[in-house]
Amino acid sequence: MKWKNVLRLINIDIKSGRLIRGQRFRRYRESRVLQYVIYGGSCLLGIAIGWLVGTVYNGLPDPNVREMLLLGARSLFISAPTLVLTYSLIFTMMGQIQRAGIKSSIQPPYWLPITWGEHTLASILANLIGVQLAMLIFIVSAISIVSVFIGEVSLAALTIFAMLTIAFLASATTEIFRVLQVRLTGAVYKSSGRAAIWVRFFGSILLFVVFYVVYFSFTSGANYAAILEAFASGQKTLWFIPYIWLGMALFSFTNGQILETVVFSLGSVAFLSALFVVAVKLNSMFGLYEPPAIRISLGAYTPKAGIWGRLGFSSSEAAIMRKDFKAFTRRRELMYFFVLPIVIIVSMIMPFMRTSQAGTLVPQELLFFSALILLMPGAIMAIMLGSMIIGQEGSPVWHLYSSPITAESLVKCKYAFVVIFSCAVTLACGAVGILIFRPSLRIIFAAVIESIFLIFSISAVSLRAGIKGADFVEIPRPRMIRPLELMINFIMCLILAGAILAPIIPYAVTMIGLTNLLPQFYLYVALAISGAIAAIVTYGFYRIAVKKAKDFLAEAEI
């Protein structure tokens, strides 16, 4: 294996981040500071937190409390690799689902003098670059500093080694999943035609829902605590899972069981090697991906009058909406949008399950959870979809530039798509929320109305950002919007959502019993004021979106 080739390939992956719309490509100059700022920041933050925790620990006067904290820190060190495993798996999987242009991004190695081993290793390591690496640097820095204060340097060194190894393990697992998914979808496509679209659609969603359930069951506290307890109390009930052997090795090390430490460590090395060999083998067997010919329709072509046309959209507006709907059900990287509301529901239900195990929900919690599940998914969908609906066009955006579509029509059809999609999400999530939390009719009524206000206004706000910050770069993954514009839009949406919801808050406060219940007419007045604010926001930002669309269509970036 030529290590320089591996580094070159990783470097290409890092450099792919350059392709952001608006960058100057002629006489391109890279800012190394900006390139590594996320990692430097994570390191500094880790050091600061480590130092803070260490200082607090040293300042504690009670030796019993210090002893308790020391035990807690040891447990945390031991379980850190398992934590790294879960988030590395989630993030590397998320990275993979968003990667488009599989053929263009991974095929060049096949005609260059690069071995499958080099390609696989580079792919595994490159998968870790980004948020995963930043989090790893943060944890490593914090643990290193804390270990000096608590006198556990050797355990910390082993923990860090274990975390790095397990991050590699997670990424190797993702690599195997990726190749298998490519192979599997290819096979499904060949055999099942139109059904393949839905098999892939529901398959991808299911895969991510499973991962998120695992992730939240770990991070929401209940099961994670159980695992910590399992390690700490010496119950090695999970010994048969190779992914946690490194954690077991650390546990054995803290108990002075040298033989077990060595066995689990060697077992982990063997497992890691086996995973790598499997990944290389699978890549060499199925990695050379050729999209199979997918036949969706047969027979003579007959144009159909779509539902959008009957709803008053022009033929060009309806065509764009139909095309967008197909994009969201057929493009792997856009299926993420369907996963999002499910993730939100899972993340809300997990803490609720814990609370309900502990006892019955108090009115404050009931109102909070019900309102959240009725308001949040639709609003988040409107933010995400609105800000990315233009950028998701990718390089075929030249169709919009060259076709006789006006700015007004473009904004109308994109806005309608975002609103309809977000309302559907609110409906689905709301139904689940009502079944689980069983809120009163009044809560449902107010939350649904507010949710609609939020969707209409936030969609307009986000669409403006989506047009202004559209990013059509597709390789190695579609970005759809410039990160800065996305961030500004998110903050703006938060502020405006706060303003729209403000009139209803006094009534909500009285509903949870903090003060006497306000008369019911106040609810209707509050909803009317809220609606008026939403209407002003919607109208204003819709007009701005049309103006931005005029500029966008006037100066094609192709």
205 binds another protein (CB under 8 A): no
Q: Are 95 and 187 contacting, i.e. CB atoms less than 8 angstroms apart?
A: no
Q: How far apart, in Å, are the Cα atoms of 353 and each of 83, 217, 224, 341, 399?
A: 21, 10, 15, 18, 49
d(CA 519, CA 538): 29
Which one of the spans 29-37, 142-150, 243-251, 324-332 is the region binding another protein (CB under 8 A)? 324-332
d(CA 245, CA 263): 9
For residue 311, give the amino acid letter: L
**To 10 degrees, what angle do helices 407-437 and 520-554 make?**
140
Q: Which residue in the set 28, 111, 240, 301 belongs to the binding site for another protein (CB under 8 A)?
A: 301
Q: Which residue in the set 59, 61, 63, 404 belongs to the binding site for another protein (CB under 8 A)?
A: 404
- What is the smallest separation between the CB atom of 188 and another protein, expressed in angstroms? 13
Residue (152 or 324) nearer to another protein, CB: 324
Residue (234 or 396) nearer to another protein, CB: 396
Q: Are 130 and 136 contacting, i.e. CB atoms less than 8 angstroms apart?
A: no
Strand, helix or coil at 151?
A: coil
396 binds another protein (CB under 8 A): yes
413 binds another protein (CB under 8 A): no
Window 41-100: residues binding another protein (CB under 8 A): none
Considering only CA atoms, which of 219, 255, 545, 260 is closest in space to residue 410?
545
- What is the smallest separation between the CB atom of 327 and another protein, expressed in angstroms? 6
Q: Are 546 and 538 contacting, i.e. CB atoms less than 8 angstroms apart?
A: no
Q: Draw the binding track, 20-49, toward another protein (x: CB under 8 A; -: no contact).
A: ----x-x-----------------------
- In a 13 Å sphere around the CA of 220, the CA atoms on its Cβ side amount to 19
What does the DSSP 8-state code read for residue 244?
G
Does the bond joining 483 to the residue before it have cis omega, within 30 degrees of 0? no
d(CA 6, CA 120): 9
Q: Draw the binding track, 237-276, toward another protein (x: CB under 8 A; -: no contact).
A: ----------------------------------------
236 binds another protein (CB under 8 A): no
d(CA 387, CA 182): 29
190 binds another protein (CB under 8 A): no
364 binds another protein (CB under 8 A): no
What does the DSSP 8-state code read for residue 2?
-
Residues in contact with another protein, total (CB under 8 A)?
Answer: 43
d(CA 78, CA 70): 12
Q: Which residue in the set 259, 293, 358, 491 belongs to the binding site for another protein (CB under 8 A)?
A: 293
Q: What is the distance of C-alpha 493 from the center of its chain? A: 19
Strand, helix or coil at 481?
A: strand
Which one of the spans 13-21, 169-177, 325-333, 504-512 is the region binding another protein (CB under 8 A)? 325-333
Q: If DSSP states are collapsed to H, E and C, what string results for 304-317?
A: CCCHHHHCCCCHHH
Residue (323 or 547) nearer to another protein, CB: 323
Q: Draw the binding track, 527-556, toward another protein (x: CB under 8 A; -: no contact).
A: --------------------------xxxx
Residue (103 or 354) nearer to another protein, CB: 103
- What is the smallest separation between the CB atom of 113 and another protein, expressed in angstroms? 23
Q: Which residue in the set 2, 15, 326, 442 belongs to the binding site for another protein (CB under 8 A)?
A: 326
Which one of the spans 200-208, 296-304, 338-346, 376-384 is the region binding another protein (CB under 8 A)? 296-304
Residue (172 or 318) nearer to another protein, CB: 318
Give the Cβ contact number of residue 399 at 10 Å: 13
Task: Show the tokens assigned to 57.
Answer: 């620990």
Residue (1 or 293) nearer to another protein, CB: 293
Beta bridge partners of 470: 481
Give the Cβ contact number of residue 342 at 10 Å: 20
* H or E element in which residue 470 lies: strand 470-471
* H or E element in which residue 271 lies: helix 258-286
187 binds another protein (CB under 8 A): no
Residue (54 or 193) nearer to another protein, CB: 193
Q: What is the distance of C-alpha 102 from the center of its chain? A: 20
Residue (255 or 395) nearer to another protein, CB: 395
- What is the smallest separation between the CB atom of 404 and another protein, expressed in angstroms? 4
Q: Which residue in the set 8, 183, 236, 330 belongs to the binding site for another protein (CB under 8 A)?
A: 330
- What is the smallest separation between the CB atom of 395 and another protein, expressed in angstroms? 4
Q: Which residue in the set 78, 142, 318, 455 belongs to the binding site for another protein (CB under 8 A)?
A: 318
137 binds another protein (CB under 8 A): no
Q: Which residue in the set 1, 34, 259, 298 belongs to the binding site for another protein (CB under 8 A)?
A: 298
Residue (57 or 201) nearer to another protein, CB: 201
Q: How far apart, in Å, are the Cα atoms of 239 and each of 52, 188, 236, 246, 256?
A: 35, 36, 5, 10, 18
For another protein, the binding residues (CB under 8 A) are 24, 26, 291-298, 300-303, 305, 314-316, 318-320, 322-323, 326-327, 330-331, 394-396, 398-399, 401-406, 553-556, 558
